[in-house]
Amino acid sequence: KGDSGLSEINLMKNKVSALEGQLRALQASFTKYQKVATFPGGRIVGNKVFVTSGYEGNFDDLKQRCLQAGGQLASPRNAAENAAVQQIAVLYKKSVFLGITDIQTEGRFKYQNGEAIVYSNWAPGEPNNDKGSENCVEVYTNGKWNDKSCGEKRLIVCEF
């Protein structure tokens, strides 16, 4: 079946080049929407997107809002991710609550999935559990971390 085999190959070649065109269009569209999604309060680090809505609230409020949106509170796992959260704090001139607490066991900071933190950037003297009531973590505009009462209001940053 030499002849029908060749025409099948040509049909396949046409399908591949059509798909190549569609992929290029999709890539261009994706790049455009990445710009939309990160203007002005968003940052992309690898596969993670950090974004704020500008909302300020207590820890439980912010946590719920990130989950409702299909993400979670920002949980920087390295210096590059922390720098992205810091840049958003600087833009809004507000400290940010992270998705990290020591609510379960005092002094053992964990992500919301229960995993012990793999990265930290504590300010000098922190965490100090001031007045015995600081179980949440804020990021200052200088990028350093402070444990803080979860009832305080801070800027929301979610990660997706």
End-to-end alpha-carbon separation of the chain, Å?
Answer: 52
Which of helix, strand or coil describes residue 135? coil
Q: Is 106 in the site for Ca ion (CB under 5 A)?
A: no
| Least separation in angstroms between CB 48 and ligand GMH | 27
Q: Which of Ca ion, ligand GMH, none lies near 125, with the C-beta cut-off 5 to 8 A by kind? A: ligand GMH
Cross-strand pairs, 17: none
Which of helix, strand or coil describes residue 129? coil
Q: Is 130 in the site for Ca ion (CB under 5 A)?
A: yes
Subset of residues 93 to 152 that bind ligand GMH, contact rule: CB under 6 A: 125-126, 128, 130, 134, 146, 148
Gap between the Cα atoms of 91 and 72, Å rounded? 21
Tokens at 32, concatenated: 């455009």
Which residues of this chain interact with ligand GMH, rule CB under 6 A? 125-126, 128, 130, 134, 146, 148
Which residues of this chain interact with Ca ion, rule CB under 5 A? 128, 130, 134, 146-147
